[in-house]
Structure 1
Amino acid sequence: MKLSANLKGALFSAFYFSLFISIAFISKDVFTIIIFTIGFVLAINLMAKALHRIKVPMKLANIISLIASLFFLYLLLVLLIPTVTREISNFIVFLNDFFQNAQWKILLQNQPESIVNNVEEFMNSLQPKAIEMLSRFIEVIPTYGQKAFTFLFFLTIGTIYFTFYFESFKAKLQYLYPKSLRDTASKFYNETFNQIEHYVVATLLASAFVGISAFFAMSILGIKYQLLLSFWAAVTNFIPVIGVILEFIPMIIVGVSSGLTTMLIFLLTMSIIHGIAFIIFISIMKDYGRVNPVITIFSLLILGSIISLTGALIAVPTAMIIRVFWDVYIKPELERS
C-alpha cells in the first residue's frame, strides 16, 4: 500500500517526537533541562519579536531579551529561595500545631457529629503524610544543591546559545524529512512553535500575576507565610487542571488559622485573581492553542505518570502538538474525496 505524502510526513513527525520523549527514559534530569531551556528560549524569542516590531534590530532585540530574562531569573532565585526555604521549616511547625489542635473544626461548628467524625478521621490520616512530605523536602534540599547548580549552569549556557541559533534551528528541522515532505514539515513546525511560544508567555505572565497578587492579598489580610504561599501559587499555575487544587489546599489550611471570615475573604479574593489571570491568559493566546480539554487531561495523566512533574508541565504543549499534527497531516487525508 502506497502512503500519501501527508501520511509519510505524519510517520516521520511521530517518530521524531517519540525519539524526543525517549530522552526522559534515559535521563529525566537531562530531559528537564532541555524542556526548561526550550521554554525559556521560546519566551525570549517572543519578547525579541515584540521589540523588533518597534524597530529594534533583531540581534539587539535578542540580546536585550536574553539579558533581561537571565537577570530576572537569577534575581528571583537570590531573593526568593533562601526566604522560602526558611519559611518551609516554620510552615512544618505550623502544620503540626494545626492538626494537633484540630483548628479545622472551626469550619464544622453546628455540623452533625457524623460529618465531624469523618473529617477528623481524614485529617488524622492526612497529618503524617503532609508532615512527612515537607520534612523530606527539607532533608533533600542540601543534596539537591549540586543538581540545582548543574541545572542552572546548563540552562544558562543552553539558553544563550539556543537563543541566537533558534531561527536557524527551526529552518533546518525540515531537512530531517525527504525533499517532497519538507514544505508540510515546515508548516507543522512553524505552527507548533508559534502556538507554544504564546502558551509559554501567557502562562508565565498569568502565573506571575497570581503569585504577586496573592502575596499582596495575604499581606493586607494578615495571613502568614505570604512569600511561601505566593511562590507556591505561582509555581502550581504552570500545572494544568490540578494546579489550582494543589494551590488552594495549603492556602485554606493557613486561612483557617486566621479565622473563618478572613479565610472566606481570602478565597473570594483568590477567585477574582484567578479570573483576571484567566483573562490575561486568553487575551495573549487569542486564536492560538484551542485544545480539546479531553486531550489535555489525557496528556496530563499519561505524561504525569511517565515523566512526573516535567510531564505535567508539558501536558498542554503536547496537546497543542497533537492538535497541529492532526490539522496538518491527518485532517487533510480524511477530507480527501
Structure 2
Amino acid sequence: MFKSKLQFWTFELLMIALFIYVCTKISFVFEPVAVFISTLFFPIFVSGFLYFLFQPIVSFLVNRKVPKGLAILTLYVVFIGLIAAIIGVVGPALSRQITDLVHNIPSYVEEARQFIDRLSHSRGFTWIVEQEYVSLDQLEDSILNYASTLPTNLKNSISSVFSVVTNITLIIVTVPFVLFYMLKDGQKLPKRILPFVPSSYRKEALRMMKETANTLATYIQGQVLVCLFVGITTFIGYLIIDLPYALILAIIGAITNIIPYVGPFIGAAPALIVGLLYSPTKPLFVLLVIVIVQQLDGNVISPLVIGKKLNTHPLTIIILLLVAGNIAGILGMILAIPTYAVTKTIVFNIVRVVRVRRS
C-alpha cells in the first residue's frame, strides 16, 4: 500500500492530527469523563500517598502475627492519636501566630507602602523612569485597574475557598475507606493484572510492577522524612535567630521542600520578607539558617533516606519542574519527579525485555 517509509509515517502523522482535531470538536463528549477523573483524583492520590507511607508498618505488624484488619485499625488509631497530640501541642502556638500575623498585616502593608514611597523618591527609581523603562502613567493605570477589579477578585477568591473546603471535606470522608482497602488488598493488585498480560511476559511485568512500587515507596517515604527534618531544623534555627512567626515559616519551608531545587527558594521567600520587616540584618541570619539546613539535607539526610535510587540528573529535574509548573502549577511541580521516575522505570524495563527477546 505504501511505497516508502516516508509515505507511511506521513499518513500516520496525518491520521493522528485528524484524530486530535476531531477530539477538539467533540470535547463535550469527554467532559463527564474529565469530571469523573477530577473528582476521584485527589482521594485516590492522597490514599496512594498514605498507602506507600503506611504499607511497611502494616507489613511489620502482619509479620508479627497480627491480623491484617486489626493491624490497619491499630495503625488508624495510632495515627489519629498522633495527629491529635500534635494539634494539641502545636495548635495553640500556631493559632496564636496566625492571629498575630493577621492582626499585624495592616501595619506591614503600611510599612511596605512607606518603603515603596521612599523607593519611588530614590535616585535609582528616578533614573529608571528617566530611561523610560517604566511609565508612571502606565503604573498608575495598572494600579487603578487592579483596584477596580479587586471586588470581583475577592468574590472569586471566596468562591474558591468554599470549593477548596468542599474538596477537603470529600477527601477527609473518603480517604480512610479507600486507604483501608488499599492496605488490605493492595498486594493482590499485581496478580489481578497479570491475567491481562501475555503469559510469556508475566514474569517481566511482575518485576516491573514491583520496581515501580519500590520507586514510589522510596520517594514518598524519603520525602516525608526529609520534610520533617527540614521543618524541625528550620524551626529551631528560626527560634535561635529570634525570627517572628517561626512555626508558620518553618511549616511553609517544610512543605515547599517537596519541590526539588525550587522548593527551598519558595519556602525562604516569606521568611526573608518577615525578617526584612523587622531588621535590615535579619534576612542575612535567615539565609544562614536556610543554607545550613539545606547543606545538611543535601549532603547527609537525602542521600541517607532516598539514596541514588531515583538517579535523575539535576538538569532533567529543572526542565521537568519548568514544564510541569507551566502546565499544572505547584501540583505539577510536586508530581513531576515521581511521575518521571515511575515512567523511567517502566520504559527501562520494557527496553530491557525487548533486548532480551531479540538476543
Structure 2 residue 42 is matched with structure 1 residue 32: yes
Contact 2:58-2:183 at 8 Å conserved across structures: no
C-alpha distance after superposition, 1:23-61 (max 9, x if no partner): 8775434212211210111000133445678x5747365
Q: 1:233 is matched with which residue: 232, 253, 262?
A: 253
Alignment match, 1:69:
79
- Aligned equivalent of 1:329, options 350, 356, 359: 350
Contact 1:103–1:256 at 8 Å: present in 2 too? no
Q: Which residue of 2 aligns with 1:313?
A: 334
Do the aligned partners of residues 251 and 138 (structure 1) sit closer, same or farther apart at CA in structure 2, a change above 3 Å counting? Answer: farther
Q: How many residues align?
A: 308
Alignment of 1:94-113 (within 5 A): 95-102=108-115
Code of the aligned partner of 2:49? G
In the TM superposition, what whole-angstrom CA distance separates every residue of 1:96-135 from its partner, at most 9, and x where no partner exists?
A: 23421328989xx99998699999x9xx999x89xx8999
- Match for 1:189: what amino acid? M
Task: Give the conservation status (yes or no) of the 8 Å contact 1:103–1:257.
Answer: no
Deviation for aligned residue 1:180 = 2.5
Gaps of 5+ in 2: 1-31
Larger radius of gyration: 2
Counterpart position of 1:251:
271
TM-score (norm 2): 0.69
Q: Does 1:217 align with 2:237?
A: yes
Cα gap change, 1:302/1:75 in structure 2, threshold over 3 Å: closer, same or farther?
farther
C-alpha distance 174-205 of structure 1, shift in aligned 2 (>3 A): same
Residue 58 to residue 110, structure 1, CA distance change in 2 (3 Å): farther
SS of 1:218 mapped into structure 2: helix
Q: What residue in structure 1 maps to residue 309 of structure 2? A: 288
Counterparts in 2 of 1:205 and 1:93: CA distance versus 1, 3 Å = farther
Aligned runs of 1:28-67 on 2, under 5 Å?
28-49=38-59, 55=64, 57=66, 59=68, 62-67=72-77
Structure 1 stretches of 5 or more lacking a match? Answer: 1-21
Name which of 89, 94, 101 aligns with 2:102: 89
Mean Cα deviation higher: 273-282 or 296-305:
296-305
CA RMSD of the aligned region, Å? 4.1
Conserved? CA contact 1:207–1:234, under 8 Å: yes
Q: Distance in 2 between matches of 1:324 and 1:46?
A: 21
Q: Which moved more, 1:40-49 or 1:294-303?
A: 294-303
Residue 19 of structure 2 is matched in structure 1 by none
Identity of aligned residues (%): 20
**Contact persistence 1:252–1:263 (CA under 8 A):** yes
Q: 1:322 to 1:251 in 2, by over 3 A?
A: same
1:175-216 deviation per Cα after TM superposition (whole angstroms, max 9, x unaligned): 342322221111111001111111111111111121222223
Matched, 1:200 2:234: no
